[in-house]
Structure 1
Amino acid sequence: MFATRQRSRRALVCAAMIAGLAMAQGTGAGVTTADPPVEATVESTAQALADAITAGLTPAADGRQPKAIVDTGSGSGWAKSTSSAAVGEGPEMTAALAAFAYGLTHPDAAPPGANRWDCKPSAAHPNPVVLLHGTWLNAYDTFAYMSPRLARAGYCVFAFNFGRSGLMEGGGLGAVLPGRFGVGPMEESSRQLAEFVEQVRAATGSEKIDIVGHSQGGTVANRYLKFDGGEGKVGKLVTFGATHHGTSLMGMATLGRAINNLGINILGFYEPLVGLANIQQAVGSPFYAALNANGDTIPGVAYTAVGSRYDEVTNPYDWTFLRPGPDATVDNITLQAGCEQDVSDHLTMMYSPRSTSIALRALDPAAPAELACTFNPWLIGGGGSF
């Protein structure tokens, strides 16, 4: 019994680490200029990722050597995903790890303060705020800290779970854990966002919305703005550790190594599958070549991109920053600038008081200019408070 409890605790901690590593996949450096066939590029990227994962795997307890495998399906269009609004507000959390644990047992919970569909925007805050989670996360465990603070500041806040996909639908290994969303094709997630935005606009009567996105959520928002009808409907986009330019294969490989080397044998075998969303987020993928072909931004949107020096996935962290194009403003912010005691990593930046104050200021430039500055530890978050 003791051994079982030990394995369970280790699985929970590792799961949180996996989320912190994988949910962002945000360490790319830009688009490629090569133009190989899409299918060949996807296959070569997937195999390179599998090889990178395999290179760092240690033998299992029974002596077998783990090996990453590629399962990219047969033909285009095989991968699919769905989305759903988060329902039933979960409790407010100050610690990322505690929120992750709650999200495992309540995968469809709404973050506190969100999805109050009778909320009517005020004159001071006319744009509802849509929250977008990252890879292998959900609306609750990403925004259980920030969402209620936005609501108390007078915003109508809305959140949903996008990219819900199973193991056999291209979601990869992470889809086996409860509440691990944001794993489906990002093109589909973008279209799901488009549908959700229309629901929010209809319910609130607002012409425009603002978006706060973490990790892949920032990328999905960018895709929506550029290709799926978002232009003219979004006033501000605020991102934290976003995967605007992809991630390196080595950063993604950390995911598979964490699963195997820390002893999580979720599926009963030792071969981690490479999910499609992870393949898409590799730097230089066809997805990013299309996404950023005409620049990082679109006209008429105010962008704020936040990165942390302690982000173990988006590394170098400034790969999350954006280059402004015509008629767009960009504020690239290093989380530790002026606050060295905030040591938030990729996961815990969403539980940083400083991040919340940055979001509030970005959404409303008339908000107090002074930003919060507190110690915010790696993995736990929320000033170390549970």
Structure 2
Amino acid sequence: MKHTPRSLATAAFVIATAAITIGLNSPLAMANPPDGSHSSDTVGYGPELTDEAAAVAYGLANPDVAPQGTDDWSCKPDAAHPRPIVLVHGTWASAYSAYAYMGPELAKAGYCVFTFNYGRADTAGAGLVQPTIGATGYIEDSAAQLAAFVDRVLTTTGAAQVDTIGHSQGGVVIRQYLKSNGGADPSNPSDNKVSHVITYGATNHGTTLSGLGNLLGVFKGALGLDLNNPTETLIGHAGIQQLVGSPVLTRLNDGGDTLPGIDYTIVATQYDEVSTPFSATYLTAGPGATVHDVLLQDGCALDTSDHNSMVFSPRAVSLALHAIDPDAHPALACTLNPWVL
């Protein structure tokens, strides 16, 4: 039986809340977080792990390693697996800590699987804004980093399109790439660089961060304290950008949730404590797009995955394979996947 404790993303609540304790006048709270961010290739491989807590711990100690089976740049798609899969991790994570389980499973299914680290601070800042911690930079910059990586995958593999999988912020970065960085061509969907978008716990319409986002608003409205800046200093630009009503999400969703020619599978878990409320992850299909909004627990009450452990769920892997090729992968797994705080 696998027990998954509270993970890096959830623990970040404590660090974010510390911004309130630090106070607006302390040097740390007033410091501006580094604005620049970068992407980086993976280097070497970590072990295949089925437990989220173990993967997070290993990833913190080895931030650059890749999941087993991924980033084989000699891999070439075949007729049964025509599109490479690009995995995009979430906030405060790494390619390994997010996909130590899912990456190897997709590779075993015959796919060329690629992943990278993005949104890392160019220089060390406060709290989680560190060069070894991913996805703290501006979402717009991270989408540009994803665009360059997808182009590299397409060029190297010779494929016409990729399928993308995003966890948490990773789903938003994918959608930003599609809309603003050349991933999709609404005027000619046949030129889209992406065929399928599969997300897990993506903050598509913003998150309250289990009330933290609302709390920041209360402090500002009731006490006149704007704590967004000190909080952003500690958790990074992307953390604030994912709050409900943020300008980047407002622009992203303006004109509709989807783009033509793309198949979306949007997976939520009712036990999500980070992307809240969990239903805000769901998308509404626009012209020419297909959306499958899926609750992980539908048909499988055994799976009680939370925000981070959902990408370590066998059911989540089977949902991805089914979305990409339902004929080859018609069945969905249903196994016990608990988590404990």
- Measured against the shorter chain, the TM-score band is 0.7 to 0.9
Q: Which of the numbers 137, 144, 155 marks the counterpart of 2:93? A: 137
Deviation for aligned residue 1:253: 5.7
**1:284 matches 2:237:** no
**CA deviations over 1:43-91 (Å, ceiling 9, x no partner):** xxxxxx98xx369x7xxxxxxx5437755749xxx71100012121211
Q: Is the 8 A contact 1:214 1:242 kept in 2?
A: yes
Residue 118 and residue 168 in structure 1: after superposition, are their counterparts in 2 closer, same or farther (change >3 A)? closer
Give the aligned residue type for 1:143.
Answer: Y
SS in 2 for 1:124: coil
Q: Is the 8 A contact 2:48 2:100 kept in 1?
A: yes
Q: Which of the numbers 183, 202, 208 marks the counterpart of 1:242? A: 202
Q: Is the 8 A contact 2:202 2:281 kept in 1?
A: yes
1:247 and 1:188 map into 2 onto residues whose CA distance is 20
Q: Which has the higher contact order (CA 8 A, sep 6+)?
A: 1
2:82 and 2:275 map into 1 onto residues whose CA distance is 33
Q: Residue 105 of structure 2 aligns with which residue?
A: 149
Give the aligned residue type for 1:212.
Answer: I
2:53 and 2:209 map into 1 onto residues whose CA distance is 26
Q: Which of the numbers 320, 326, 333 marks the counterpart of 1:359? A: 320
Q: Residue 319 of structure 1 aligns with which residue?
A: 280
SS in 1 for 2:39: strand
1:337 and 1:133 map into 2 onto residues whose CA distance is 24
Structure 2 segments unaligned to the other structure (5+ residues): 185-191, 217-231
> Normalized against structure 1, the TM-score is what?
0.75
Deviation for aligned residue 1:369: 2.1
Q: Which of the numbers 173, 180, 189 marks the counterpart of 1:227? A: 180
2:49 and 2:18 map into 1 onto residues whose CA distance is 36
Q: Which of the numbers 35, 38, 41 marks the counterpart of 1:82? A: 38
SS in 1 for 2:302: coil
Q: Which of the numbers 301, 305, 308 marks the counterpart of 1:340? A: 301
Residue 84 and residue 192 in structure 1: after superposition, are their counterparts in 2 closer, same or farther (change >3 A)? same
Give the paired residue count: 313
**1:182 matches 2:172:** no
Structure 1 segments unaligned to the other structure (5+ residues): 1-12, 24-48, 58-64, 257-270, 381-386
2:209 and 2:243 map into 1 onto residues whose CA distance is 6
Q: Residue 148 of structure 2 aligns with which residue?
A: 195
Deviation for aligned residue 1:168: 5.5
Residue 364 and residue 249 in structure 1: after superposition, are their counterparts in 2 closer, same or farther (change >3 A)? closer
1:81 and 1:298 map into 2 onto residues whose CA distance is 27
1:17 and 1:341 map into 2 onto residues whose CA distance is 20
2:195 and 2:31 map into 1 onto residues whose CA distance is 37
**CA deviations over 1:85-140 (Å, ceiling 9, x no partner):** 21212110000000011101110001111000000001011100000000000000
Q: Residue 170 of structure 2 aligns with which residue?
A: 217
Q: Is the 8 A contact 1:21 1:312 kept in 2?
A: no
SS in 2 for 1:210: strand
Question: Identity, % of aligned pairs?
Answer: 49
Residue 370 and residue 182 in structure 1: after superposition, are their counterparts in 2 closer, same or farther (change >3 A)? same
Deviation for aligned residue 1:279: 1.5
Q: Is the 8 A contact 2:168 2:275 kept in 1?
A: no
Deviation for aligned residue 1:314: 2.0
2:59 and 2:110 map into 1 onto residues whose CA distance is 25
Deviation for aligned residue 1:274: 5.0
Residue 218 and residue 235 in structure 1: after superposition, are their counterparts in 2 closer, same or farther (change >3 A)? same
1:204 and 1:21 map into 2 onto residues whose CA distance is 38
Give the aligned residue type for 2:262.
Answer: V
SS in 2 for 1:109: coil
Q: Residue 162 of structure 1 aligns with which residue?
A: 118
Q: Over aligned residues, Cα RMSD in angstroms?
A: 2.9
> Normalized against structure 2, the TM-score is what?
0.84
Residue 290 and residue 22 in structure 1: after superposition, are their counterparts in 2 closer, same or farther (change >3 A)? farther
Deviation for aligned residue 1:366: 1.2
Q: Residue 7 of structure 2 aligns with which residue?
A: 17
**CA deviations over 1:294-345 (Å, ceiling 9, x no partner):** 1100000000000001111222211111110000000000000011011000
